[in-house]
Chain A
Amino acid sequence: MTFNLTLSGSDLLLLLPEMVLTAWLCVVLTVDFVMPRLPKDRLAYLSVGGLGVVLATLVWFELEGITGTLFAHMFVVDRMALFFKIFIVGATLLVILVSMDYVRRFRFFRGEYYFLVLMSALGMMFMASANDLLSVFITLEFSTFGFYVLVAYLRDDVASNEAGLKFFILGVFAAGLLAYGISLVFGETGKLVFSDLARAEPTPGLIIGYLLIFAALGFKIGAVPFHSWIPDTYHGAPTPVTAFLSIAPKGAAFAILLRMLFVSLATLKPVWALLLVFASILSMTYGNIVAIAQRNIKRLLAYSGIAQIGNILIGLAAGTKMGSDAILFYLLTYLFSNLGAFAIVVAVGNLINSDEIEDYNGLNRRSPFMAFAMLVFLLSLAGVPPLAGFIGKLYIFLAAINEGLYTLIVVGLINIVISMYYYLVVVKKMYINEPADPSPLRISAPMKAVVYAGLAGTLVLGIYPQPFIDWVVAATLMFSNLPGPAASMPPAILPFGG
């Protein structure tokens, strides 16, 4: 039997970040096993160190411009993949720091928690590089598997078990839809790689296949017709896992959506743009209106997350190079604001053992630092200048204006006003209401580091966004030949540009 496997050392270099992470997570697992007495905090720092090395290799790739494809175009390393990998690794790093206090609540398998977080991160890194339908399926399943376990990690907690079960059943259902859709597309065209699929004629089978694939991806990002798992799962899961789930997989799924819509389906843009407009309007309106009624901060952030996804879908509906830039930038702002807000929720939850919004009464008296940080994060999520969220929303809306999507923009603006209400209710409780128990709260060191990182990101992206805009524009250069007048639009029309 002869193997025609042609992999040279320079080919394998493209896989370096993933290989480093794979090796490192085996190290974490082994260290946890052979040194059971080692404090789990050390394991967290070991994981963070490994992610630091991975991040360094990714930045090296980015600076040296190392790109290419492997395994017959199944695995691609381009600027966009590098952007999403840096995004995912950064999010994972912050989530591990956020988890360190929370992990003490788990009665068993505290070490394996870090292993599973790293494993999900690895899966999402592969997702960012997926360039054909087969690797989309397998990497999507890979990253979700870790989350199925992480969501149900509080084994003695009924809510966590319920969340895990709901997520698992609906997730498996979505995986079934995805596999069925891929089989239809493959059956109609005989092709799997995105760029090959671009030349396919739209037959009914192909269209049904694509619809099924997008239903599964819509489940993954939690856009409205497919959002039903989000509130309960976010509520029941351990809070750091909720933070992780609300950011990193969204980024990875958008990498796949961008590649599929902008590469394979560029010619069918009028059709999918219309569908995305509906999904976006529904997500924004539903998420924001239901969020008003929430009494639990995790549920509030879950519904606000659905609305934020609606905002990002505006950029996708625009379907231009500028739309893709805006999506990448928005994800960056969302990373810092949302992860920061969740870090405060985790910190407060660790200290007072409650996630009810009522218990945030008078947080300013108890911990001015946490109250101020929460204020900044919530205002950024709402889109108040000069914070990151404002620039993100502005960028997305500008991309939509260039495409003439005025209905979408009107709905989006109305939704900003609605969202302002429930974010400000939390702010009012923190600053104006009297605390039931005025004892001061002290935030731990790793948590403080994450909150500072979130604050720094939110402020820098809001006040001096130009280097980051340059970065996302460079990351999506592959889409610059998309149809539409906005492709030639310079991004420098944004205010606050350097």
Chain B
Amino acid sequence: MATLFFFYFAGIIVLTSILVVALRNPIYSALSLLIMFFHVAGLYVTLRAEFLAAVQVIVYAGAILVLYLFVVMLLNVKREDRYHPQFLLGTLLGLTLLTEGLLLVFRGTVPEQPASVPAATGATQAGSSVLPLVGNTETIGEVLFSTYLYPFEIASLILLVAMIGAIVLAKKDIGGREA
């Protein structure tokens, strides 16, 4: 079963990655990238890395891809390339998603997260040495601030450089500040 899922996810990842570079319309490319990100997240779930999967969806699919789309839309894509009459398909998909969302909210059958809920009690009772009891997210947090403290701190410095660098390269003229 796991192998089946692996090949499904891997196949879709390869296919959509090719589509990202092969498609002519940049918006379609960005959307295939989105599908790829979701399937990578799925791959993480099969590896029992729920935290990584969630981060993948939130950071890549959520933030970075929206940024891509903004840039693509702001740059001059020809108008006729941008939209296609797909209202029917769009409405259908939107309705499906809305129904799913409403069902989830009102039926309340969301399964409780198996890993993280017992973890909170498990960690306090058994201590951190019993790793299987501790959830994925907690383990990552603990390791990040103990074993991998050094790369973590350097990453914070990288963010500082990136921030200053982005300002230096992209900020508009600021009259009269410089001596």
Chain A interface residues toward B at CB < 8 A: 1-5, 22, 29, 36-40, 70-72, 74-75, 107-110, 112, 115-116, 119, 122-123, 126, 134-135, 138-139, 141-142, 145-146, 148-149, 152-153, 155, 164
Q: How large is the interface on B (under 10, 10 to 19, 20 to 34, 35 or more residues)?
A: 20 to 34
The answer to whether B151 touches A36, judged by C-beta atoms less than 8 angstroms apart, is no
Contact segment of B29-37, B48-56, B138-146: B138-146
The answer to whether A108 touches B173, judged by C-beta atoms less than 8 angstroms apart, is yes
Residue B149 CB within 8 A of the other chain: yes
Q: How far is the CA of A3 from the CA of B155 in the complex (A)?
A: 20
Residues on B with beta carbons closer than 8 Å to the beta carbon of A29: 164
Q: Closest B-chain residue to A26, C-beta based? A: B160
Q: A145-B162, A146-B165 are in contact. List 7 more A-B contacts (CB 8 A).
A: A2-B128, A5-B146, A108-B171, A108-B174, A112-B164, A116-B165, A123-B157
Q: Closest A-chain residue to B145, C-beta based? A: A3
Residues on A with beta carbons closer than 8 Å to the beta carbon of B141: 1
- Shortest CB–CB separation between residue A182 and chain B, in angstroms? 12
Q: How far is the CA of A110 from the CA of B178 in the complex (A)?
A: 8
- Shortest CB–CB separation between residue A73 and chain B, in angstroms? 10
> Quick one: CB contact mask for B136-179 with A, threshold 8 Å, 1 for yes?
00100110011111110011011011101101110101100111
Q: How far is the CA of A40 from the CA of B179 in the complex (A)?
A: 8
Chain B interface residues toward A at CB < 8 A: 123, 127-128, 138, 141-142, 145-151, 154-155, 157-158, 160-162, 164-165, 167-169, 171, 173-174, 177-179
Residues on B with beta carbons closer than 8 Å to the beta carbon of A40: 179
Q: How far is the CA of A148 from the CA of B166 in the complex (A)?
A: 10
Residues on B with beta carbons closer than 8 Å to the beta carbon of A39: 179
Central interface residue in B123, B127, B148, B157, by most chain A CB within 10 Å: B157
Q: A37-B179, A115-B164 are in contact. Are A5 and B145 (CB under 8 A)?
A: yes
- Shortest CB–CB separation between residue B145 and chain A, in angstroms? 6
The answer to whether B161 touches A138, judged by C-beta atoms less than 8 angstroms apart, is no
The answer to whether B174 touches A145, judged by C-beta atoms less than 8 angstroms apart, is no
The answer to whether A138 touches B145, judged by C-beta atoms less than 8 angstroms apart, is no
Q: How far is the CA of A71 from the CA of B173 in the complex (A)?
A: 44
26 A-B pairs with CB atoms under 8 Å apart are A1-B138, A2-B128, A5-B145, A38-B179, A39-B179, A70-B150, A71-B147, A71-B149, A108-B171, A108-B173, A108-B178, A110-B178, A112-B164, A112-B167, A116-B164, A119-B160, A134-B148, A134-B151, A135-B150, A135-B151, A138-B151, A139-B154, A141-B158, A149-B161, A149-B164, A164-B169
Q: How far is the CA of A241 from the CA of B114 in the complex (A)?
A: 53
The answer to whether B150 touches A75, judged by C-beta atoms less than 8 angstroms apart, is yes
Q: How far is the CA of A70 from the CA of B149 in the complex (A)?
A: 11
Q: A3-B142, A138-B155 are in contact. Are A74 and B168 (CB under 8 A)?
A: no
The answer to whether B157 touches A5, judged by C-beta atoms less than 8 angstroms apart, is no
The answer to whether B168 touches A142, judged by C-beta atoms less than 8 angstroms apart, is no
Residues on B with beta carbons closer than 8 Å to the beta carbon of A37: 179
- Shortest CB–CB separation between residue A115 and chain B, in angstroms? 7
Q: How far is the CA of A108 from the CA of B145 in the complex (A)?
A: 38
Q: How far is the CA of A146 from the CA of B164 in the complex (A)?
A: 9
The answer to whether B142 touches A22, judged by C-beta atoms less than 8 angstroms apart, is no
